[in-house]
Amino acid sequence: MNPTLADFGKDVWWIVLIKIVAVFVFLVVMTLFTIWYERRVVARMQVRPGPNRHGPFGLLQSLADGLKLAFKEDIMPLKADRVVFFLAPVISTVCAFTAFAIMPFGPFVSIFGQRTPLQLTDIPVAVLLVLATSGLGIYGIVLSGWASGSTYPLLGGLRSSAQMISYEVAMGLSIVAVFMSAGTMSTSEIVTKQADSNWYAILLLPSFVIYAISAVGETNRAPFDLPEAESELVGGFHTEYSSLKFALFFLAEYINMVTVSGLAVTLFLGGWRMPFLPDWLNQGWWGALWFTIKVLILLFMFVWLRGTLPRLRYDQFMKFGWKVLIPANLVWILVLAGVKTVNAHAPQQRWYWIGGAFALVLLAAIFWPSKKDSPKPTLEQEVAARPAGSFPVPPLDLQVPVSPRAQRITAEREVV
């Protein structure tokens, strides 16, 4: 039996407490494992060993790094706003943890004799809760840059907020197609709609691709890690942070990776169900195993992108989000709405309407008038167009003129 909205809110208090602790432990363990996982995979791609000293295969390296951060000196900048400087990482971490409260890990299970769904809670607008918490998490990043009292963190915080807001719009639009197909925003019911291997990643492929790209931009991960570009902004918004405060930002980043991966599994990849398996392997605690495996596969994609793609330029990145992803999302939603309307009112002619809609979109993409860039003027034309008395320009041959002292020395030598 699949969980429904009516099955939530009936657990006894100690079951709710166990679920809260279980979600917290799962996210912390996944963070420690993902850090090790990322370092090992990138090391394998770069033909080097990676962490291999602490524990078997270096599995305790992340734990050792966390303990080291805890005993580091906590430095507070002189010009920092102490209250906001402390609250900023707390806001980011709390929002990251809260977003995972509506993720379905599996069907009904028995915990100490109590039958309960393997999910902390569910509400009619559960997916909107994830978008809301991710939007609030931006405040932690903006406030951390502002409260540091330094230039580079402020620039990193503003850049990060602009990036996250931009790609959150594309992410939200990509989920609209799932709402239209499932007819609900409840995560448990969306998983139920994909019970017969009707994964929305296949049925709504454009939405899945746009969501995947937006998720990488939303989490500030390479190749979209521009707020933390070491070559431009030192460390970005958390440059002035150290010790446990820096560890909280680090924790929030990796939890956000797990969250967007878990949401992708829930909305597009069938949730905790694994297709082509007997029914008994999709019952009980097996669902938590399949959910975790799918999340790890998506986390591998994050690591793979970091190890292979170069960082984009910031203006290219923002242009890609606003001028490519969002318009493509809107066109896809219109096409999907048209197809559903035709299926509802004229099912016998739906294929003609579908073919005509895609033909129109294809023709519009091919023959849409594009603005051609005017040819750039040459260096000679730029120099000639400058008004007299403007700032000096280098010589056209790019040769540095001989200094007066060198000219005088050369003339003296000729006289001698």
Res. 283: pLDDT tops 90 = no
Between CA 357 and CA 341 the distance in angstroms is: 12
pLDDT value at position 362? 66
DSSP string across 128-140: HHHHHHHHHHHHH
Q: Do the Cβ atoms of 325 and 214 come closer than 8 Å?
A: yes
How far, in Å, are 76, 161, 360 from residue 152 at the CA level?
A: 16, 14, 48
Res. 1: pLDDT tops 80 = no
Res. 403: pLDDT tops 80 = no
pLDDT band at 398 (very low <50, low <70, confident <90, very high): low
Which neighbouring-strand residues pair with 104? none
350-354 average pLDDT score: 60
DSSP string across 220-269: T-TTS-GGG-HHHHTTGGGTT--HHHHHHHHHHHHHHHHHHHHHHHHHHS
For residue range 181-225, list pLDDT tens digits in order. 888 889 999 998 888 778 899 888 889 999 999 998 888 787 887
What share of the chain in percent tops pLDDT 70? Answer: 85
For residue range 210-265, list pLDDT tens digits in order. 999 999 888 878 788 776 665 555 667 888 888 888 888 888 889 989 999 999 99
Lowest-pLDDT range of 60-74, 170-184, 315-329, 372-386: 372-386
